[in-house]
Structures are given as C-alpha cells and as structure tokens.
Amino acid sequence: MRKISTLFILVCVLISVRISAQTVSGKLIDEHSQPLPYANVVLLSLPDSAFVYGTISGEDGVFTLEASSKNQIVRISSIGYKTVYKPVTPANIGIVQLVSDAQQLGEVVVKANLPVTRIKGDAMITGVAGTALEKAGTAEQMLDKIPNVTSKDGEINVFGRGTPEIYVNGRKLLDNSELDRLSAENIKSVEVVNNPGARYGAEVTSVIRIITKKAEGEGFGFDNRVLFQYNRD
C-alpha cells in the first residue's frame, strides 16, 4: 500500500512538471521595425535570477525556448539596446521592440558602432574592435554580451552546450581568471563554436576563440600590467 502511495505521488509530480512546461516564443525587432538577429534570450529563475537556459534570436528575429516553471522570467538583451524582461506567461510573447540604450553607447548613438555577428564555417563570429563592445570592461564582462554566451562570477556558459574551452590566439586558457586581466579594448573578435569536432576532443562540447588586436609577441594589454604571450595555431 505504501509503495502504491509513493508511486501515485511521483506520478502526480511528473504530471505537474509536464503541465507547467511550455514553449515560450516571440519575435524581436529594432527601432525601425526590422528583425533583430543574434540577441540573447535567457530564461532566469525567480527570485534569485539564476541562469536556467538560453538561446538567440534567428535571422528573422524569432526565438523559442522551453520554460519549465511559472517561477521564471525571460531576459532579452543585445549590445546597444536596453534590456527587456518578459514573463513566461502568456507563452506567445509576441513582437518585442528593443530601443537603443544611449547610456550604453555614449552621448551619440551610432548604429555603425554596434557589433556585427556572422556565421562563418563552424563559428559564430562577433567583431569587437571599433564597436561598443570595446567599452565592456574585461574580457569576461565582454563575453556576457556576446551572442550565445553568458558569463557571471567566473562561470562561462555557451547556450545549450555548457562550459566551453577558451582560447586566446590559439592558446588554451587553463584558468578563466586570466580573462579578468584582458581588456575588451584589446580584443579584435570572438568566435563561438557550438560543435567543435574531433580536433578538440570528444569531451569538448563548445569552444570560444578570442582573437586580439596586437600581433604575436607585442603583448595584449592585460590589466595590472600583466602580459601573457600567446602562440597562434
């Protein structure tokens, strides 16, 4: 009788979880009503705002993600735009228009200064040099603004792929704390690889490749005057 009661409770819990799970969807546009691609759409738990899951908007601005509880909220962010928060209900968020963040970009909002993300080969490449991302602070702070990536308190996560291996000019970082000593102003571009392939090892689920502005041997402008030399592949 006790086993039956336990099984009944377990079934009820599973049914409850299934009922609360839902697909949240929407479409992002900019101030000119154009689709906004590669914006980060992150599911956060309440009340602690812990990261649950993340995705990015497609070329058409559309996004979908799975909410597993009503006690969650959607955070929508893209460099140069004000961050928007939306509840997970109703599941169809509809069209969300993001507006420029003048404070983030400076006194003059220049569209050309927004970073451009493109797909090339196996990587999603985001330009940093000459864009608002240069003012993000450290490399770790900058990564939190890169499409498909979240970074908080030293924990870096590629959406749906977990903890990545990180390389700077081809050299693997053994300690993510090195990112705190690398300034975003010295970074040229960031490449995010969701399917690294055999060259990185079967256990590697994602890779972030950081390319700096300066040539090999010149140093890379680390904070605290700590310079590291990196070798290219």
User: Which residues on neighbouring strands pair with residue 121, listed in sequence order?
Assistant: none
How far is 233 from 191, CA to CA, in rounded Å? 15
pLDDT of residue 111: 55
Residue 102 is predicted with a pLDDT of: 66
Predicted confidence at residue 171, as pLDDT, reads 94
DSSP E strand boundaries for the chain: 22-29, 40-45, 51-56, 62-67, 72-77, 84-87, 92-97, 117-120, 123-127, 149-152, 155-158, 165-168, 171-172, 187-193, 207-212
**pLDDT attached to residue 49:** 87
DSSP structure class, residue 38: S
Q: What is the pLDDT of residue 10?
A: 44
The phi, psi pair for 3, rounded to 5°, reads -65, -40
CA 169 to CA 230: how far, in whole Å?
A: 6
Q: What is residue 78's predicted lDDT score, i.e. its pLDDT?
A: 92
- pLDDT tens, the chain, 233 aa long: 444 444 444 444 444 444 457 899 999 999 999 999 999 999 999 888 889 999 999 999 999 999 988 899 999 999 889 999 999 999 999 999 999 886 655 544 455 578 899 999 889 999 999 998 998 899 999 999 999 999 988 889 999 999 999 999 999 998 888 999 999 999 999 999 999 988 888 899 999 999 999 754 444 444 433 333 333 33
| Token code pair at residue 81 | 């735009």
- pLDDT at residue 74 in the model: 96
CA triplet 44, 80, 119: central angle to 5 degrees? Answer: 80
